Structure 1
Amino acid sequence: MTEETAIVADNFTLAQNVSTLSILENGIICTLMTLLILVTIIGNILVILSVFTHRPLRNVQNFFIVSLACSDLAVAIVVMPFHVIDYIYDQWVLGAVFCELWLTSDILCCTSSILNLCAIAMDRYYAIHDPINYSQKRTLKRVLLLILLVWSASTIISVPPLFGWNSSGKTLYDENNHVCHLTDERSYVVYSACGSFYVPLVVMSVVYLKVFLAVRQRLRQRTRNAAMSKLKSIIKRSSTNGGLKDNCCEDGVDENGQNSSETSVQKDASEAENSSESKRREKQAKAKGGEPQVVTQFLEQRQRISLYKERKAARTLGVVMGAFVLCWLPFFLMYIIVPFCDSCVRIGQLELFFVWLGYINSGLNPLIYTVFNSDFRKAFKKLLCGWKAVRNYL
């Protein structure tokens, strides 16, 4: 009896320790999830407010960023909190109807976030590849139409399971096990994975490569033109100096055989006349050609600024794409492999990690724009300082 009692006591202690570790682990995970939700909400709200309140950001192309921020904000408000509830209870407790709405919103918001990144990449490409023509085509109406197209495509990808395109043919909610899970129906998995991730990934990869090559080509062309201009200036200056040397004669004798001291007065008078003549021509050049020269310098400066911004935009786009691939690739590999692998076993913690790694992308986008864009940094600082002033006033 004593040994049996000791074994029971040991098992109880072990169960108690496991329960304590489980509670601690769940508490840490739920805290991290909540922090990610708050960061995503605050960051994307700041992005939206920055575009509408900060004048340098109030342009047509930034409406793509507003659309991206709206989709990421929807992920943080509509999708992520209910995932936390499902994790805490270890089952779905909100019923079949809300389960279908939640899963549809999950696919819709995440797909629209990815497609908005794709639209931003395409916008950057056309802005660099054909800036003059595209600046005329990039109207508010056209941009809003493209944003509507992004959300329409996301809707077309997300709603088919509601109409029976799923593994059960009826509903996404398993009433027996109280599980609300994405469908494993193979044809829909391929359809949604390609539309939500793999096709946008290919498009973004090709577009970003072209953006990188276009920026590099323009920078090289600019460097080559600057080098040629400098070389021409040196040649012109050296030829001018050579002409002056040809007029100088050795041993104090000029080309007419006269002593240089005898003609010094004549040279002084000639130089004075040339000086006055050159000053007069310079004044005429300034009066006639000064404005075109100023305009040329202004255009060159604008081009340098434009190339600098394009370079920064391309780098930002590269970071955004890198974060997008790192965050979403593990989930979509798992999403498309598991339905076709009968021997694969679902690991709950790993699946949870991959899902939330994808959600992290919605929180990273505002941080990326903050770090790599000075206008967004200024706007964020202005908004946060204004909020601090209001809070101190209250």
Structure 2
Amino acid sequence: MATENCFEEPYGNFSTIFGTTDIPEWEAILTIITLTFFILLTIIGNILVILSVFTYKPLRIVQNFFIISLAVADLTVAILVLPLNVAYAVLGRWIFGIHICKMWLTSDVLCCTASILNLCAIALDRFWAITDPINYAQKRTVKRVLLMIAGVWILSLLISSPPLIGWNDWPEPDVFQKQQICELTRRQGYVIYSSLGSFFIPLFIMTIVYVEIFIATKRRLRERAEAAKINVSRNQSALKKDEQQDRESVSSETNHNEKSGIPEAANGKTKGKTKKRSKEDSNTLKPILCHEDSLTDNCDNSSSSQKRNSVPSTSENNKAICTSTTSIMISNNKTNTKTVLMEPKKPGFMYQFIEEKQRISLSKERRAARTLGIIMGVFVVCWLPFFLMYVIIPFCPICCPSRRFINFITWLGYINSVLNPIIYTIFNMDFRKAFRKLLGFAQT
């Protein structure tokens, strides 16, 4: 990334336990500890993601193949790229030879590009699943997803491989041995080509897609809130009609039993019918009150539902509301079958459920906005500084950033591979359960 004038910057000024280094011994030790921690965190986090999808049944759904591909890309960054970068950052010079340098740089571009393009593929998958859920649920087959993932890696290879076949300005072996500098090519054409394919085009796509997802999610939640209000209103009218019929029926049969001298116990069939009707009404209300999902949440957490829906279930609060709502209805059926049918003066509980549903919808909108904001914010903060530096330096002969600055900006991009498994799993309850199970924290 440095210009020719920057090659004159001296290195190897400090004698340390690691030999001659570019930085003082205390800084070298701190750098090694810090960067090693990031490497281990990246490896552990992405291995947990991969194992979670393969070992935890609720996560074995086709859309999570994108998450596996992202985790593999980030894992290869941690294994193939980062350790050599630690040595290069501490020593200030490349000691592994020109051939390993070329393969290291190619692996760097390949793995980081694959990570970014996988993020773009995940964004597109979510966009299609939310804006066209019915049709895309049929199109989202294993074959289609695997083809998209293969396309991500093939495109990454096409972006990273041109320097190996001549599109580079790498020095000759004897000059390289003298300079001991292993840097990405500064050929202006390749810099534009690779930066557009690796970052700027995916950034543009992700920005448009996530804005559309956010708008579509808000619109869908509002439409469902209005639909729920209409459905509950209709069911309330039907309930009032049934209540009136049941009161007349119970009253008529009671009077008939009193006149006929039939014991109260003989009236069990009527009570059984009333209880059955109450259960049917409860089942009618249940899908109305529980039919709610968003970018990260789904009220139904069954395996079959997860296969149909575009995004795995992750909302404990939403499921708790649905469970509590159903429990109230069932409890009323068991303890007092006349709570709904025999108290027409208290229909307000359904309006309370509607208000609660609207409150949940607004909460989900805020959570979706926060999730999308975090995804885009972390991605931009991590990679934008690096790619700006990558593009500016070849066109700016007087720009000569220090090695410390270059290392910092470069590692800021690498940190995105540390954060990806956190961002894409922390908002998903199933991944959290799988992590606790793998780490031995799950309750038996």
The match for 2:252 is 272
1:325 corresponds to 2:356: no
1:343 corresponds to 2:398: yes
* Unaligned 5+ runs, structure 1: 1-14, 244-267, 388-394
**Which range is displaced more, 303-312 or 210-219?**
303-312
The match for 1:179 is 181
d(CA) in 2 for partners of 1:20, 1:344: 21
| Number of aligned residue pairs | 343
The match for 2:130 is 128
Larger Rg: 1
Q: 1:146 to 1:295 in 2, by over 3 A?
A: farther
User: How far 1:179 moved relative to its partner?
Assistant: 0.8
The match for 2:10 is none
Code of the aligned partner of 1:42: I
The match for 1:390 is none
Alignment of 1:204-215 (within 5 A): 204-215=206-217
2:430 to 356, 375, 378: 375
The match for 2:115 is 113
1:303 to 288, 291, 307: 291
Alignment of 1:213-292 (within 5 A): 213-231=215-233, 272=252, 283=273
Q: 1:97 to 1:86 in 2, by over 3 A?
A: same
The match for 1:70 is 72
Q: 1:296 to 1:200 in 2, by over 3 A?
A: farther
1:94 to 96, 110, 125: 96
User: How far 1:172 moved relative to its partner?
Assistant: 12
> How well do the aligned residues superpose, as a CA RMSD in angstroms?
3.7
d(CA) in 2 for partners of 1:174, 1:94: 11
The match for 2:148 is 146
Alignment of 1:160-199 (within 5 A): 160-168=162-170, 174-199=176-201
- Match of 1:182, SS state, is coil
Code of the aligned partner of 2:375: V
d(CA) in 1 for partners of 2:220, 2:53: 29
- Match of 2:439, SS state, is helix
2:28 to 2, 8, 26: 26
d(CA) in 2 for partners of 1:275, 1:207: 67
**Which range is displaced more, 86-95 or 165-174?**
165-174
d(CA) in 2 for partners of 1:193, 1:270: 77
TM-score, normalised via structure 2 length: 0.68
Q: 1:178 to 1:334 in 2, by over 3 A?
A: same
The match for 2:9 is none
The match for 1:47 is 49
The match for 1:356 is 411
**Which range is displaced more, 298-307 or 95-104?**
298-307
TM-score, normalised via structure 1 length: 0.77
d(CA) in 2 for partners of 1:173, 1:122: 45
Q: 1:224 to 1:75 in 2, by over 3 A?
A: same
The match for 1:200 is 202
User: How far 1:36 moved relative to its partner?
Assistant: 0.4
d(CA) in 1 for partners of 2:408, 2:249: 89
Code of the aligned partner of 2:292: R
Q: 1:159 to 1:228 in 2, by over 3 A?
A: same
Q: Is the 8 A contact 2:23 2:91 kept in 1?
A: no
The match for 2:4 is none
Code of the aligned partner of 2:420: N
Code of the aligned partner of 1:380: F
The match for 1:60 is 62
**Identity percentage of aligned residues:** 49
Q: 1:125 to 1:302 in 2, by over 3 A?
A: farther
d(CA) in 1 for partners of 2:192, 2:107: 19
